[in-house]
Structure 1
């Protein structure tokens, strides 16, 4: 899927490169910028930390207590082909409890900061196991405007994509490009996101602010 925060055409125009370089190179810079920013933006998502199936009932554990409720449709990704996809929550609670939807607020439903969610999946039993790296569960998107239409996010993506493209054109010897610009691959260090943090600050997830 093509990047939407900054498009290939927009990045080409900003860099003044016209039809130079392949679409794959330019689009990769756009998509990389979008992927990086998405790690800091606030979405209705939770990490999937464990999965399992018993008696055609799948249990998915997320590291976000009380986030979703029975009847909601959520999309699971990066958690294995058997569990991935859009599914409807049929129950909540620890794995041994078939369905305690009426007691969703009780602490034992989310011990140690986790929430157990259950889904109907017809498949052979699978022992509960950790998902590493964590998968992702995405709930309904209630934002009034998409991030692709948010000025601060779009400008931040343009800055990141521009820096990524320019930095990949030079080595670490401090060389100069033909137009007199001196790009540096060291821009790709831990200061990369700091350079655009102010632009995306109003839209950052509280989870990304920890530490």
Structure 2
């Protein structure tokens, strides 16, 4: 019986480990700041909010935030967006068919002197808990001059930075580093293969426990 208790304890421990690891990796679109914990800038100040002074911008942000589960291309009704690098220079027209929303659309306010521009960009750092190793994150930014565009980012873990040549509505968007993800996280839905592993482990441990108990009873009966 002592061995059975130890065996069952080990099974429970493994089940908890699988569950905890899976839960730690689950990400999803949320309300509020949509995963963005904080923002900061290399000069001046940067502030995120959910409200816009311009009623038209507020209406557009509200519309987009009500469609976060849909692909970026469908929400914006665009097939491609201009992509700008960390030096704020145009790179190419980027196909956005594989892009999805990682966060809500926010109002990014930058107070810097001189004001952000192509020649004097402001580097903004985002801390976002929705970022995972298997995705590539971009900033979706509505430039006052060019309209909706993409900004490349750099960083690691849950921190990324982008160079802004203007403030405006912003959101973090992503695409999978590989289209065929055999295992791991889907940042949009929060579904991942750890759930399957946890259920399989639980069933396996249950069957082992039942078998051990029956075997023990047979010995006592004999």
Q: Same fold by TM (over 0.5)? A: no
TM-score for both structures, normalised by structure 1: 0.26
Structure label with greater radius of gyration? 2
- Structure 2-normalised TM-score? 0.25
